């Protein structure tokens, strides 16, 4: 992270992040590592009006009375860069066990009471 004041006197943060995180493969539901990288430019301001006046290439960070906490800022950037769905390469998935698709559930010995059976009796009495 690089903190500086540019030629326009805007307080800025220029950052480049790289991390390896563990996500869930959507095929086999097992953990898998992925690499995430992000580059971003932030303009530090104190009011909404200053945020609206920033150049378009800068995202704004509005500071209040409290000092800037960088951990949530970095965490948010990594979350934004994390792919929505993740898959192992084809053939690398390790399923947890056999998965049966399309099999019908066995019939139960008990037949459930039909809550509409009373209506059937009313219809037949007409």
CA distances from 91 to 20, 22, 28, 32, 67 (A): 22, 19, 11, 14, 48
* Stretch 16-41: mean pLDDT: 91
Instruction: Please give the mean pLDDT across all residues of the chain.
Output: 84
Secondary structure of residue 39 in the 3-state scheme: strand
Q: How confident is the model at residue 124 (pLDDT cuts 50, 70, 90)?
A: low
pLDDT digits (tens, 9 = 90+) for 47-65: 999 999 999 999 999 998 8
> How far is Cα 100 from Cα 90, in angstroms, rounded to an integer?
20
Is the pLDDT reported for residue 109 higher than 80? no
């Amino acid at each position: 992270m690089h903190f500086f004041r540019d030629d326009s006197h805007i307080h800025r943060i220029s950052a480049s992040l790289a991390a390896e995180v563990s996500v869930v493969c959507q095929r086999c539901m097992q953990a898998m590592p992925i690499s995430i990288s992000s580059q971003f430019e932030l303009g530090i301001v104190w009011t909404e009006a200053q945020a609206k006046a920033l150049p378009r290439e800068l995202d704004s960070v509005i500071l209040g009375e409290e000092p800037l906490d960088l951990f949530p800022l970095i965490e948010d950037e990594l979350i934004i860069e994390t792919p929505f769905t993740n898959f192992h390469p084809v053939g690398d998935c390790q399923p947890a066990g056999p998965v049966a698709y399309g099999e019908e559930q066995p019939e139960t010995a008990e037949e459930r009471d039909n809550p509409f059976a009373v209506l059937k009796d009313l219809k037949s009495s007409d």
